[in-house]
Amino acid sequence: MSLKTLTTGGLLCAALALPAAAEVKVGMITTLSGGGASLGIDTRDGFMLAIEQSGRTDLEVVIEDDQRKPDVAVQLADKMIQSEKVDLLTGIVWSNLAMAVVPSATAQGKFYLSTNAAPAQLAGRGCNARYFSVSYQNDNLHEGAGAYATQAGFKNTFILAPNYPAGQDSLTGFKRFYEGDLAGEVYTKLGQTDYAAEIAQIRASGADSVFFFLPGGMGISFLKQYADSGVDLPLVGPAFSFDQGILQAVGDAALGVKNSSTWSKDLDNAANATFVEAFEAKYDRLPSIYAAQGYDTANLMLSALDKAEISDEAGFGAALKAAEFDSVRGEFSFAANNHPIQNVYVREVIKEGDIFTNKIVATAMEDRANAYVDDCKM
Amino acid sequence: MTTTLILEQFLNGLQSGIMLFLMAAGLTLIFGVMGLINLAHGSLYMVGAFCAATAAAATGSFALGLVAALAGAAAAGALIELVVIRRLYDRDHLDQVLATFALILIFSEGTRWVFGSFPLYLDVPEALSGPVTLPGGIQYPLYRLTLILAGLAVAVGLFWLIARTRIGVQIRAGENDREMIAALGVDIDRLYTFIFALGAALAGLAGALVGAIQSVQVGMGEPVLILAFVTIVIGGIGSIKGALVGALLVGLTDTLGSVFLPELFKLFMAPAAATQTGASLSSMAIYILMAVVLIWRPTGLFGARA
Amino acid sequence: MTRETLFNLAVLAGLVALPLYAHLADEPFTITLATRAVILSLAAVGLNMALGIGGLVSLGHAVFFGIGGYAMGILAFHAQNYMPLMETPFLIEGTKSMPLIWLAAVVASALAALVIGLLSLRTSGVYFIMITLAFGQMFYYFAISWSAYGGEDGMSIYVRNGFPGLNTLVPIQFYGLCLAALVLALGFNGALARSRFGLALNAARQVPERVRAVGLDPFRLRLVAFTISGAITGLAGALFADLNRFVSPTMFSWQLSGEFIVFIIIGGTARLFGPVVGACLFVVLEHYIGGWSDYWHIWFGLLLLGIVLFGRGGVIGLIAGKARAHG
């Protein structure tokens, strides 16, 4: 971990009155161990790739592992703010961890740039001038899937998601832009691994399509079991279950499935081409959406640093909000509540040689902001 | 809701119960004979799945994957028995819980170290993929049907091993009186290593079989471990028969609860609220079942001793 | 004065001196870390009453920790949103006052411990370990899907709750409060262990028949101990929530229950200061080994294994020799 800087010395002898060598200090809290580590590792690698490409030497990134535990994340945020004295925080993957860290970080006067999690609370009444989501608003991909289901002419969709806030938001988001009827609505257990019962319900429901939000391992299990069940209805889901990191583990079962995403590796713009090539060259694997969002977050931050000192809060905030950087997602700007306005695409899972990956087949929504802009009083 | 759907859900509950039995059997055997609580049993399940995925990817054969899972998990089991577990037999449960908790940490992060953070690929073999039509018009995946039969075969084999073979006699004797069988000239150390490896192999087999339709990833063993504990506690710790009954009870409660509780709540609640409340209650159902069983029979359904 | 007493005094002196030093050196994060250690110590001190003296290996003590946390979360949530907690039959308002929150946390977790104890203490040994685990899982899944209070996202409380006469936002002052709670709990625990109740409880662990013979009911002794134990852990939960200004269902997780047991064993089972030493060591290790390697759990696991296999009696056992009173 050459990137990781440590407070040398330990508890007692931390005489940190020394002037910091770097002018800007960034704290990254992300998940690097345990079950969800692949997402955090991609976030970190994408972010650091952009930092490296910038060639800046006056910038220091402190990286810590939150183990996907909210209380550890809070403690790390306290540490970064109180003892590392970082200027800006970023990197959290999960919404529940973001809810634990972001409100108190912004209350302590720090900027927070989200590389992934963007729960509704922080977009609406809880919005903050120091908080920017560079990824999306959590509902966006589900809204995109709903819009696509409507465009594709689905009339009777069966929808399912885990029984926790992100799952409930997901189904709400889908329904916001889906105009057909629901053949069924099911909440599964968080972390569930066997979906035989739900698949039987889908088979019996008379649905003409299925929307599912089951991130990570849950999605792998569902897709494999669905493919093996003989139920042959079209599937739609947000990108989380079709990520580069997990597609290889799903295999043929995912082929042809449509999923909504704000980014894809075949998105046609110069910044994206550079990013995909550089990422593959450096890390010897294809980037995921988490890597893309990490990369964009770093570039947004760098673009703002070129324009204003981070200590100049109003100036730096305005520079962030201008979003003058080359996003790998193409057109990119911020809505009034500091969440992106961007296209939501529909991708299809394909096989390129031996590798399973996605290609864009349609645009589900153009220049989508989010449903909470009016609730935000900044 | 049609009869076909109810029957299909019943089969699903049966199938998850049978797989749980493979986990629970080893756990209960190890506790019954050696008096050891093994929290690391879920790690052996994970080892089995990873061995199967690696071997199947290298050779292209699911059967070889299963062999690798059995061998890998048995070897891992025998290794930790020799190095760690055997020092724990005469310790209290507290030390056992803690030491095997430490083993979970070592196994999980060790696996991540070796295989990386991304899930592995393991799929249902070609010959067993896709659904078949059962009498009554039920469309059911052939692979799940195979799992039920394979699990039942293992259960029968296990009962036979314990009731009819020389090893079985030693196992039963070991449950009753350890000093005596040692005095009768049985090499108790080897017996213990064998039983532990057997339990590990069963867990590894379950991991490989289930891994084909689930996600092979670090941490996959822990949810199953807790379910397996619930199972053997309901059945009575140490009893293979109890493990079978408990596993079926847990499998059926879990599956049927998640299907029927939301329907039940829809009778007197708005659909969206009912779905959510039903789902919440069904995720607690097996733990409620366990608490009720223990309050009614403090040593489980077939348990003899505390 | 025995070596153990001397050692305990040294630990206590360290807990006072270190944060004071950090305060003077303007290292607020060290104080935060120490506060975390002290609160986790308090939770484990609570468990130690059931586990160390009573021999009740509870793998579900996170239930009480979580209930304490949610007591704080719910009361403060209603106070910060100016929403009454309930209006009929009588009005209950939320509150941001620590003493009231602590009272609610202690009462709620004691009640939960009483009910769980009534049901689980009928079992013993492994069954007891497992039924407490089952209750933990029940609460965990309930909290995850309880959308009124954030579900899995948990609840953020933006400003730390207040204590009359103190500014709890100053790290050292909040630390002082937590340390005072810990010292009181330790004093209580020590007095209780030497009391008739404590002796009877200890005897009920070792030879229940003999306790029964002198006319005492081991079940009731254990139930009382379990209830007090749950109440102390609940108080720790409320403090923990205030430290993080955040509560979430992970406070109910079985891994946390496991960690409480780990603290006690690392420090030394049935030692008064065992949980304190264990929790402090854990926090320091988590913080510093966590910085060295992504795979730090391996090293932590090996260390734990070493302590269980070779270091019987825990850290205090190594330093202060064999325990005298408890076997």
Of the candidate ranges B150-164, C216-230, C259-273, the one whose mean pLDDT is the lowest: C259-273
| CA closest to C256 among chain A residues | A69
* Interchain proximity B93–C57, CB inside 8 Å: yes
Higher pLDDT, residue C86 or C72: C72
Query: Which one of B107, B214, B224 would you mutate to disrupt binding with A, by most A Cβ within 10 Å of its Cβ?
Result: B214
Backbone angles phi, psi at B250, to 5 degrees: -65, -45
What mean pLDDT do residues C101-126 have? 93
Neighbours of chain A (3+ CB pairs under 8 A): B, C
pLDDT in the model for residue C291: 66
Q: Which of residues 189-208 of A touch C (CB under 8 A)?
A: 189-190
pLDDT for B248 equals 95
Boundaries of every domain in chain C? 3-320
Determine the pLDDT at residue A70: 87
User: Which one of C137, C153, C157, C250 makes the best mutation probe of the A interface by having the most chain A beta carbons within 10 Å?
Assistant: C153
First to last CA, chain B: 43
Contacts of C147 in chain B (CB under 8 A): 276
Which chain C residue lies closest to B234 (C-alpha atoms)? C127
Beta partners for A89?
Answer: A27, A112
Domains of chain B: 3-296 (1.10.3470)
**pLDDT band, very low/low/confident/very high, at A83 (cuts 50, 70, 90):** confident
Q: Is the pLDDT of residue A8 over 80?
A: no
Q: Does A206 touch chain B (CB under 8 A)?
A: no
Residues of C in contact with A168 (CB under 8 A): 147, 151
Classify domain A140-261+344-375 by CATH architecture.
Answer: 3-Layer(aba) Sandwich (3.40)
What is the pLDDT averaged over residues A359-374?
94
Q: How many CB atoms lie within 10 A of CB B255?
A: 24
- Which of C130, C146, C300 lies closest to B229 in CB terms? C130
Structure confidence at residue A92 (pLDDT): 95
Q: Taking 90 as the threshold, does the pLDDT of residue B144 lie above it?
A: yes
pLDDT of A367 strictly over 80: yes
Give the integer Cα–Cα distance in Å for C284 and C6.
22
Taking residues C276-287, report their average pLDDT. 89
- At residue C3, the pLDDT reads 83
Using pLDDT thresholds of 50, 70 and 90, give the confidence band for residue A10.
Answer: very low
Full DSSP string of B87-134: GSTTS-HHHHHHHHHHHHHHHHHHHHHHH-SSPBP----GGG-SEEEE
CA angle B285, B290, B295 (to 5 degrees): 125
CB B224, CB B43: distance < 8 Å: no
Q: How far apart are CA A39 and CA A292, in angstroms?
A: 11
Per-residue model confidence (pLDDT) at position B304: 66
Strand order in A88-90's β-sheet?
A59-65, A24-30, A88-90, A111-114, A131-133
Amino acid A4: pLDDT: 38
Residue type, position A172, single letter: T
Residue B305: exposure state from Cβ atoms within 10 A (0-12, 13-18, ≥19): exposed
Residue B99 · residue B88 · CB < 8 Å: yes
Cβ within 8 Å, pair B16-A200: no
> What's the pLDDT tens digit per position in A300-334?
999 999 999 999 999 999 999 999 999 999 999 99
C123: nearest CA partner in chain B = B298
Q: Is the dihedral of CA B112, B114, B115, B118 positive or negative?
A: positive
Confidence of residue C323 (pLDDT cuts 50, 70, 90): low
- Identify whether the C-beta of residue B300 lies closer than 8 Å to the C-beta of residue B236: yes
The residue among A45, A187, A199, A290 with the most chain B CBs within 10 A of its CB, best to mutate, is A187
Tell me the residue type at C130. M
**pLDDT value at C112 more than 90:** yes
pLDDT at residue C162 is higher than 50: yes
Predicted pLDDT at B274 = 83
Instruction: Give bridge partners of residue A112 from the DSSP assignment.
Output: A89, A131
Average pLDDT value for residue range B8-29: 93
How far is residue A116's CA from residue C226's CA, in Å, rounded to a whole number? 43
Coil, strand or helix: which one is C238? helix
Interfacial C residues in 195-214 facing A (CB < 8 Å)? none
Q: Single out the residue of A286, A294, A274 nearest to residue A245, CA to CA.
A: A286
Mean pLDDT over residues C3-20, rounded? 90
pLDDT for the residue A15:
36
Considering the four listed CATH numbers 1.20.950, 3.40.50, 1.10.3470, 2.60.40, the one that applies to the domain covering C3-320 is 1.10.3470
Do residues A235 and A257 touch, judged by C-beta distance below 8 A? yes
**Are A145 and A237 contacting, i.e. CB atoms less than 8 angstroms apart?**
yes
What 3 state SS string does B199-216 have? HHHHHHHHHHHHHCCCCE
Residues in chain C within 8 Å Cβ distance of B102: 300-302, 304-305, 308
- What would the CATH number be for the domain defined by A12-136+268-334? 3.40.50.2300
Residues B81-113 pLDDT 10s: 999 999 998 888 888 888 998 999 899 989 988
Closest-CA residue of chain B to C295: B109
Please report which helix (H) or strand (E) contains residue C293, including its range. none
Taking an 8 Å cut-off on Cβ atoms, the answer to whether B121 and A248 are in contact is yes
- Rg (C-alpha) for chain C, rounded Å, is 20
Exposure string of B168-181, with b = 16+ CB inside 10 Å and e = fewer, is eebbebbbeebeeb
Peptide bond into C89 cis (omega under 30): yes
pLDDT at res. C322? 64
For residues B140 and B138, what is the distance between their CA atoms, to the nearest angstrom?
Answer: 6
Judge contact between B49 and B69, C-beta under 8 A: yes
Are the C-beta atoms of C131 and C123 separated by less than 8 Å? yes
With CB atoms and an 8 Å threshold, state whether B215 touches A218: yes
Cα–Cα distance measured from residue C138 to residue B235, given in angstroms and rounded to the nearest whole number: 19
| Token duo for residue A151 | 């465009």
Strand partners, A358: A349
Q: State in Å, rounded, how far the first CA of chain C is from the last one.
A: 20
Contact C126 B103 (CB under 8 A): no
Shortest CB distance from C123 goes to which of B99, B106, B294? B294
Non-local CB neighbours of A340 within 8 Å, separated by 6+ positions: A133, A134, A135, A136, A137, A262, A332, A333, A334, A369
**Contact across the interface for B306 and C302, Cβ inside 8 Å:** no
Tell if the CB–CB gap between A165 and C250 is shorter than 8 Å: no
Reported as a single tens digit per residue, the pLDDT across A14-67 is 333 344 445 899 999 999 877 678 889 999 999 999 999 999 888 999 999 888
C interface test, pick of A4, A71, A84, A94 with most C CB neighbours within 10 Å: A71
User: Of residues B101 and A143, which shows the higher confidence score?
Assistant: A143
Q: What percent of chain B has pLDDT over 90?
A: 47
What would the pLDDT profile of B219-232 be if each residue is shown by its tens digit? 898 889 989 999 99
Q: Residues of A with CB below 8 A from C280's CB?
A: none
pLDDT of residue A19: 42
Q: Smallest CA–CA separation between A34 and chain C, in Å? A: 9
pLDDT above 50 (res A344): yes
Chains that touch C (3 or more CB pairs under 8 A): A, B
User: Given this model, what pLDDT does residue C126 score?
Assistant: 84
Which residues in chain C are closer than 8 Å to A119, comparing Cβ atoms? 153
Window 262-291 of C: residues touching A by CB (8 A cutoff) are 284, 288, 290-291
The B-side interface with C (CB below 8 A) comprises 31, 37, 84, 87-88, 93-95, 97-99, 101-106, 108-110, 112-113, 226, 229-230, 233, 237, 276, 279-280, 283-284, 287-288, 290-291, 294-295, 298-300, 303, 306
pLDDT of res. B167 = 84
Verify whether the Cβ–Cβ distance C304 to B102 is below 8 Å: yes
Question: Does the pLDDT value for residue C294 go beyond 70?
Answer: no
- Residue A158 has which token pair? 């069966």
In DSSP notation, B251-300 reads HHHHHHHHHHHHHHHHTTS-HHHHHHHHHHHHHHHHHHHHHHHHHHSTT-
Chain C residues at the B interface, defined by Cβ less than 8 Å, are 51, 57, 59, 119-120, 122-127, 129-131, 133-135, 137-138, 141-142, 144-147, 254, 258, 261-262, 265, 269, 295-298, 300-302, 304-305, 308-309
The number of beta carbons lying within 10 Å of the beta carbon of residue C214 is: 8
Search chain C and give the residue with CA nearest B102: C301
**The pLDDT of residue A22:** 58
Mean pLDDT on B207-230: 90
Strand A340-352 relative to strand A333-334, pairing: antiparallel
Compute the distance between CA of residue A328 and CA of residue A274 in angstroms, rounded to an integer: 9
For chain A, where do the domains classified as CATH 3.40.50.2300 start and end? 12-136+268-334, 140-261+344-375
Q: Do the Cβ atoms of C119 and B226 come within 8 Å?
A: no
